[in-house]
Amino acid sequence: MTKVAVLVGSLRKESFSRKTAKALAKLTPEMDFDFLDIGSVSYFNQDLEEHPPADWVSFRERIAAADAVLFVTAEYNRSVPGVLKNAVDVASRPYGKGALLGKPAAIISTSIGAIGGFGANHHLRQSLAFLDIPTMAQPEAYIGNTGSLFDDAGNLTNDATRDFLAKFGKAFAAFIKKST
């Protein structure tokens, strides 16, 4: 079974990004989704690279053990949340040997607004391109109006979004297979 490390760019308990990632996981049972807690990853500081903190080491090991990486992120100020950028920075080091190097990836951006986190999606793509991480291009996933897509228990209630996520999951599985 394909193992996918999941990095959710929002730390909020009721995060729509986390709910979206969990919905995708339910719709894609052929993959094993490992949700990593990026909030527990200490700040990147290059001075610590020679003797990295234990949280960096375990975070990097879990990503290295995965076949692929899924990023599901909210948009903050037309970019990725700082906590997600920090996670990418930690996972990408040491330079040229980072845990993310060469891992197939996909991005889903979310927003309570209509444009679905377009800015965050493309800022993250820039970083991943620099890090030589093959990132699925199609279908693009900008999930807007997320505040109306889930019930109080966190279940996805929108059929069109459910159908889209199921197709996205199948496309991601095919992309991983083709990339590895």
* Mean pLDDT along residues 70-76: 96
Distance of CA 62 to the CA centre of its chain: 14
Q: Model confidence over 35-60: pLDDT tens digits?
A: 999 999 999 999 999 999 999 999 99
Between strands 2-8 and 142-143, the pairing is unpaired
Q: DSSP state, 50? A: T
State the residue for tokens 């986390």: 18
Mean pLDDT to the nearest integer, 71-77:
95
Whether residue 73 is predicted with pLDDT greater than 90 in this model: the reply is: yes
**CATH code of the domain in which 7 resides:** 3.40.50.360
Place of tokens 């620099």: 130
pLDDT at res. 148: 96
The residue segments making up the domain with residue 28 are 2-179
Retrieve residue 41's tokens. 């990853």
Assess contact for 81 and 88: CB atoms under 8 A. no
Domain count, the chain: 1
